[in-house]
């Protein structure tokens, strides 16, 4: 069985560090430049994926604005990385990926607590602002704290009554988007202490279930841990899905930077290459390939919606010029002619 370089470097292999084996560890020559480069790459795998979220935390703390960030992204990463740590108990993979999961839990817990804290402050500020003329209702408070969801009522009726029969995929996407909006509203209704309690309870229950699964099914089925790996990585693979649903709902990618999409795409490419080179378990490779496919969907949305917006602008510009010319005074519409 292939032994990954990272397991040797971090000391997870007992044979390489057994003191009564002569000439195994102590006589090993100095690490080559390839080993050093791979070590640096592993360190990058631990911290690199979270650099953007650290900048997001700094941006929210400096601007006091949380409307541009969807908490579903952090919730997905909290769930997937927590299960990934439990997957390590049943199947030891590279320690770099384990440390990556631990750091992800720290970063996204801080980020979500900050989002809830700032949202509650915005809500209390809104109530103080309207205290002179009355109090805000629950719906008004929710509308003030939860980022607005742009939904066209007429279009929803069309989806529900007509396109459900002719285009079931569009109907499914609409239902998924409605579920995502509902999850966001439920999250924003929590307080930071309530969120911590629920997350700790979820972690304890998940740990108990997985350990019981290992103790029962794992004793008679050697591939039982792979199921946990598929669950963890399957949840993580849905990371870009909320953005795809939002783009489809708005029929636009305005506000979505190309740099962010390219970061997702290039990061997933590097991740798949890392999994292949280091011979990581197959669930990691499959998850990376699926994430790449979702990245391609977002890139396709960027190209399609921007081209459609440009073509619409080209069609509107001539008509606007004609209308403007018709509204002008006849004297103003004709070129200036020198009077004789």
- pLDDT tens, position by position, 23-60: 444 445 555 888 888 888 888 888 877 777 777 787 77
pLDDT of residue 333: 47
Q: Give me the pLDDT at residue 210, please.
A: 96
pLDDT at 327 over 50: yes
Tokens representing 54 are 């650290």
Rounded to whole angstroms, the Cα distance separating 65 from 61 reads: 8
Residue ranges of alpha helices (H) inside the chain are 5-9, 33-47, 51-63, 71-90, 95-129, 138-145, 153-158, 164-166, 168-188, 192-220, 224-237, 241-250, 258-277, 282-327, 330-333
SS3 221: coil
What's the token pair of residue 260? Answer: 């962010």
- Residue 300: pLDDT above 90? yes
Query: Between the ranges 127-131, 263-267, 327-331, where is the mean pLDDT highest?
Result: 263-267
Whether the pLDDT of residue 328 is over 70: the answer is no
Distances from the Cα of 115 to the Cα of 57, 125, 193, angstroms = 9, 15, 13
Kindly give the interhelix angle for 71-90 and 224-237, rounded to the nearest 10 degrees: 160
Averaged confidence pLDDT in the chain: 74
CA dihedral 134, 136, 138, 141 (to 10 degrees): 180
Q: What confidence tens digit (pLDDT) does each residue in 88-127 have?
A: 999 988 899 899 999 999 989 998 999 899 888 766 655 5
Q: What percent of the chain has pLDDT over 90?
A: 24
CB atoms within 10 A of CB 159: 17
Mean pLDDT, residues 179-184 taken together:
87
pLDDT in tens, 264-299: 788 888 888 878 887 877 877 888 888 899 989 989
pLDDT attached to residue 133: 46
Can you say whether the dihedral through the CA atoms of 34, 292, 78, 104 is positive or negative? positive
**Cβ atoms 245, 176 nearer than 8 A:** yes
According to the model, what pLDDT value does residue 195 have?
A: 95
pLDDT of residue 144: 42
Residue 165: band (very low, low, confident or very high) from pLDDT cuts 50, 70, 90: low
pLDDT at 28: 53
- Widest CA span of the chain, in angstroms? 114
The pLDDT assigned to 310 comes to 82
Taking the CA atoms of residue 284, residue 289, residue 291 and residue 296 in that order, the dihedral angle to the nearest 10 degrees is 170
pLDDT given at position 130: 42
- Residue 78 in contact with residue 236, Cβ under 8 Å? no
Query: What is the tens place of the pLDDT at every residue in 198-225?
Result: 999 999 999 999 999 999 999 999 889 9
């Amino acid at each position: 069985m292939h032994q990954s370089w990272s397991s040797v470097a971090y000391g997870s292999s007992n044979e390489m560090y057994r003191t009564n084996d002569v000439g195994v560890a102590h006589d090993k020559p100095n690490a080559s430049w390839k080993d050093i480069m791979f070590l640096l790459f592993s360190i990058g795998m631990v911290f690199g994926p979270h650099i953007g979220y650290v900048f997001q935390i700094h941006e929210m703390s400096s601007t006091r604005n949380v409307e541009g960030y969807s908490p579903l992204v952090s919730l997905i990463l909290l769930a997937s990385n927590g299960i990934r740590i439990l997957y390590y108990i049943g199947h030891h993979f590279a320690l770099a990926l384990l440390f990556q999961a631990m750091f992800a839990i720290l970063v996204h817990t801080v980020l979500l607590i900050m989002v809830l804290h700032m949202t509650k402050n915005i809500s209390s500020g809104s109530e103080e602002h309207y205290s002179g003329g009355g109090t805000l209702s629950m719906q008004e408070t929710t509308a003030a704290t939860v980022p607005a969801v742009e939904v066209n009522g007429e279009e929803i009726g069309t989806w529900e009554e007509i396109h459900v029969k002719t285009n079931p995929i569009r109907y499914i996407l609409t239902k998924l988007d409605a579920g995502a909006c509902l999850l966001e509203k439920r999250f924003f209704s929590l307080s930071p202490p309530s969120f911590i309690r629920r997350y700790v309870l979820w972690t304890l229950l998940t740990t108990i279930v997985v350990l019981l699964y290992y103790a029962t099914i794992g004793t008679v089925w050697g591939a039982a841990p792979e199921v946990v790996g598929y669950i963890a990585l399957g949840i993580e693979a849905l990371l870009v899905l909320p953005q795809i649903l939002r783009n489809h709902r708005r029929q636009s990618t305005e506000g979505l930077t190309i740099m962010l999409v390219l970061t997702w795409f290039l990061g997933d490419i590097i991740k798949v290459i890392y999994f292949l080179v280091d011979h990581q378990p197959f669930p990691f490779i499959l998850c990376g390939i699926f994430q790449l496919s979702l990245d391609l969907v977002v890139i396709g949305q960027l190209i399609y919606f921007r081209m459609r917006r440009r073509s619409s602008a080209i069609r509107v510009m001539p008509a606007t010029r004609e209308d403007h010319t018709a509204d002008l005074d006849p004297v103003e519409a004709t070129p200036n002619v020198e009077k004789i």
